[in-house]
Structure formats: C-alpha cells, structure tokens
Structure 1
Amino acid sequence: MDLISTKLIIISVFLLIVTTIETLAYSTRLSGARVGLIASALSLFNTMIIVSRFSTMFQQPMTGKLIGEAPKVNTLDFIQDQYRILLGVTTLGVCIGIFLFPTFIAIFSRAITQLSLEKGSIFTVIKKWSNKQGLQKAIACIRLPRLSYLKGINKRTFPKRIFVINAVITAIYTVGVLAALYASVIVPPEYAPAAIMSSGIINGVATILLTLFVDPKASVLADQVVKKQNKYVYLKSYSFAMVSSKLVGTLLAQVIFIPAALYIAWFAHWI
C-alpha cells in the first residue's frame, strides 16, 4: 500500500487550509488596532478560530480511518509515517499563514471596517468580498513579507514567556488527536476507545490554557494600543511571537508525538 494515499492527500489539503486560517487569525488584532475597531476585530478572530477548530472535527474521522487502511505488516511504522506527514503539513500551513500575514492584515483592516458598517453581519461582508469588486480589493491588498515589518521588535518588546507558553500549547494541541489515535493501536483492543477519547481531554486542556494565559493578554494589549496607552510595536511583537511560537510548536509536536502516544496509552490503562 502506498504511504501517500488519496485519503492522506485530502486530509493534508484540509489540514493545510485550517492551519493557515488559524495562523492568519492572529493578524485580526493588528488590523483592529489599525482601524480602531478592536471589538469587531475580536469578533472576526473568534469566528475564524471557532470555524477552524470545528472544521478539524470533520478531519478527525478521516484521520482515524487511515489506521483501518494500514497494511498488516509494519503497521505502527506505516501509521507513524503518515501521521508525521500530517504534522509536517501543519508546519507548512503555519509557514503559508506567516507568508500571507502582511496581506491579510490589509485585507482584515478593510473587512473589519466593513463588518462595523454592516452592523456585525459576517455573511454580508463575505458576500460583498466574494464578487468581482471584492476580489479586486483583495488583490490590491497583496503585500509580500519584508524584514521592515519586523522593525521595532527587540528583546524588550518581544514577549518571551508568551512565546514559550504558546509553543507548548500549540505542540499539545497539534499532536493531541494523532497521538491518541496512534495510542489506540499500541494498546490492547479493550483500551482503544479510552485512548481515542483522551484526545478530547488533551485538546480541551490546551484550549483552556490558551484562553487563560494567552488570549486575555492579547486583547488587553490591543485595547491599550487603541487608547494610546501602549505602542503599536508591542502588539506587533506579540503577534509575531504568536505566529513564530505556533511554528515552533508544530515542530515540537514532531518530537513529542511518540512520547505523547505512550503517555496516552499508559493513561488508557490507568483509568
């Protein structure tokens, strides 16, 4: 059986899109600060995050089905290789998101303003951006990444603690489902359901940690920038820390994949 199957390609494309959207969501706060509409920016941010995370629920059953289609010989190695490809695709999605970051800061600046004018109707905004005129506006917003965008970011403005926290959380969230599915293969059949269901706990904990330690600080910082109580460069540094730590987190997921699967296998036995 081929390592790179049609199903794996479909899952990879889906995962690539979702990860790119998640990465681009971090640009909404910068856009909101630029146009002075933080509440609208947060609404757009939450919408993108919810949609992307809900979308992963459709990807999970297909990912699990890869186990059933694995060959009977060297099953664990085969599944591990396929799952590592998916982890690599996640990293690629973050890279694409980072590359498109300047473009979407410009796009979201317009979209947030439009969202405010349309009284919060996201569907109306999408409709207006889906026509020919909207596409022309989007094309006009294209910006290539440049080192000048990092101007002002230094050790003093860069949030090191947030970088580490988000990298760890991203690694846990990225590897959660795949590690749980892999663990279901290495445990006895009677423990497999417990191992699979553990992914919900892992992702739930990661989401809670993100909500407690990362998101509030970003929101407060964005408010301070709009109120002229803090400099824009601090928000820019924060956003840079978020996307760069997300990239590091996906790479870290490759490292902790097997240890995480073994831990889940132990947990499935223990409970």
Structure 2
Amino acid sequence: MELITGKVIIIALFILIIHSIETLAYAVRLSGARARLLASALSLFNIMVMFSRLSNMMQQPFTGSLIDNAPPENTLQFVENQFRFILGSASLGTLIGMLLLPTFVAIFSRAIIHLVAERGSIPALFKKGISFEYLRRAVGHIRKPRFSYLRGIGLKDVPKRLFLINVIVTAVYTTGVFSALYASLLVPEYKTTAIMASGLINGIGTMLLIVFIDPKISLLADAVINNQGSYVHLKRASIMMMSSRFLGTLFAQIIFIPASHYVAWFAKFIG
C-alpha cells in the first residue's frame, strides 16, 4: 500500500497553511504597533484565523480516514510514517511563516490603515485589495528575508523560560490530534475515548498559550504604541517566539509516540 498518497499530501497542505498563519500571528502585533492600531490589526487578522480554523476542520476527517484505511499488516508503523510526514509539514509551514515575516509586516500594516479608511468594512477592504492597482502595490511591498532583519538580536535577549514554555506548548498543540488518533490503534477497545481526548489536549495547549505567552507579547506591543517601549524589542520578541514555535514543531516529532502511549493509558484509565 502506498505510503504518501494524494490524501496525505492534501492533509499536509492543510497543516502547512494552519501553521503558517499561526506563526504569522506573532507578526500581527508588529504590524499593529507599526501602524499604532493594534486592535484593528487583531480584528483584521481574525479573517486569516478563520481560514486557519476552516483548514483545521477540513483536514480532520481526512486524517481520521487514514486510520480507517490503514493496512492490516504493520499498521502501527505505516500510520506512524504517514503522521510523521504530516508533522513535518507543520515545521515547514512554520518556517514559511518566518520567511514571510518582513513581507507580511509591510503589507499587513498597509491593510490595517486601509481598513480604518474603509470604516472597518472587511468586504470593502477585500474589494479594494483585489483590484489591479492595489495588487500591483502589494508586489512592491514584497521583502526578501535578510539576516539584517535579525540585527541586534542576541541570546541574552531571549527570555529562557518563555522560550521553553512556547516550545512545549507548540509541541503539545502540534501532535495532539495525531497522538490521539495513533492511541486509538494502541487501545482499539477504547478508540473512541482516545480520539475524543484530542480536544482535551489541544484545549490545554491553547489555555497555556493564552495564560503564559499572549499577555507577554501584547504587553510589549502596548508599550511600543504608548511610546514606553522599543519596536526593536518587540521585533526581537516576535522572532524569538517564532523560533521557539519552529523548535516546538520539531519537538512534536519526539513526543509523538510517548504522547500516544500516555493518551492510550488515559483512555484505559477512564474507560
């Protein structure tokens, strides 16, 4: 049976889009601070988040079908290889988001200003954005990623605790659904319980993100807007968080199987 099928590639593309958008979430505050319109920036970014959530919902049935269609021989290894390939697309998507940072900040900052000019009307902004003139201007805002963008950023600027927490949270969030699905193969008698545990895992990951990560970055953005902080400092923090997120997607490969066994144990414990 073929390992990398068209279905696996489609799922990988969905995961790539999800992680690219979620990586660029760290750049939203950069654009908002640059335009001094943080609330408008977050509101506009919710449109991109909507596409991310839609992609996530669309990939889940496809991912579940990989379990249903797995061959009866060597099932665990076959599914593991497929899931590791998909998890690799999470790392690639995060990397793409990091490379798009300069371009995203430039274009998104302009989009925020136009959103205000259109009195907060997303349809009007979208209509203007797809016009030839504005698409031509957008091309002019494309920025190649350069090492000079990292100028002034050193290890001493990295808050070790926050960096580590973001690595762990990202790893848990990235592997949550896949570990739960894999656990359903480990304990087939409790497969429904194991699969449903993915919501709990992602919920915990999201809660940790909201409690420990988001407030720190938002505080830096507010300080820049109120002329009490440095834009360079905010940029350093954003790049640092993107880097830790990338490492988190790699760490997800390491904890994938252990997390699956933990979910399997949990399913049996409550079953």
TM-score normalised to structure 1 length: 0.95
Letter in 2 for 1:122: I
Number of the residue aligned with 2:251: 252
For residues 112-164 of structure 1, what are the alpha-carbon distances to aligned partners after superposition, in whole Å with 9 as ceiling and x for unaligned?
Answer: 11122222222322222122222212211110111111122224433322211
Match of 1:33 in 2: 33
1: CA distance between counterparts of 2:259 and 2:28?
32
Could you list the runs of 5+ residues in structure 2 that have no partner in the other structure? none
CA contact (8 A) 2:171 2:248 kept: yes
1:48: Cα distance to partner? Answer: 2.9
Q: Distance in 2 between matches of 1:113 and 1:154?
A: 32
Name stretches of at least 5 consecutive residues in structure 1 with no aligned partner.
none
Amino acid at match of 2:176: G
Question: Is the 8 Å Cα contact of residues 21 and 52 (structure 1) preserved in structure 2?
Answer: yes
Residue 17 of structure 2 contacts residue 55 of structure 2 at CA under 8 Å; is this kept in 1? Answer: no
Query: What is the alpha-carbon distance in structure 1 between the residues aligned to residue 157 and residue 188 of structure 2?
Result: 50
What is the rounded CA distance, in whole Å, between the counterparts of 2:117 and 2:87 in structure 1? 40
Which residue of the partner structure matches residue 201 of structure 2? Answer: 202
Distance in 2 (CA, whole Å) between partners of 1:253 and 1:146 is: 28
Separation in structure 2 between the aligned mates of residue 159 and residue 111 of structure 1, nearest angstrom: 31
The alignment yields a C-alpha RMSD, in angstroms, of 1.4
Are 1:166 and 1:210, in contact at CA under 8 Å, matched by a contact in 2?
A: yes
The residue that corresponds to 1:101 in the other structure is: 101
Change beyond 3 A, Cα 1:237–1:159: farther
Aligned partner of 1:140 in structure 2 is 140
| Residues 231-250 of structure 1 aligned to structure 2 (within 5 Å) | 231-250=230-249
Identity of aligned residues (%): 56
Shift of 1:50: 4.6
Aligned residue type for 1:30? L
Partner AA of 1:29 in structure 2: R
Distance in structure 2 (CA, Å) of the matches to 1:50 and 1:241: 25
TM-score by length of 2: 0.95
Q: Which amino acid aligns with 1:44?
A: L
Runs of 4+ in structure 1 off by over 4 angstroms are: none
Matching of residue 76 in structure 1 with residue 76 in structure 2: yes
Query: Once the two structures are superposed, what CA deviation does each residue of 1:85-137 show, in whole Å capped at 9, x if it has no partner?
Result: 00001101111111111111101110111122222222322222122222212
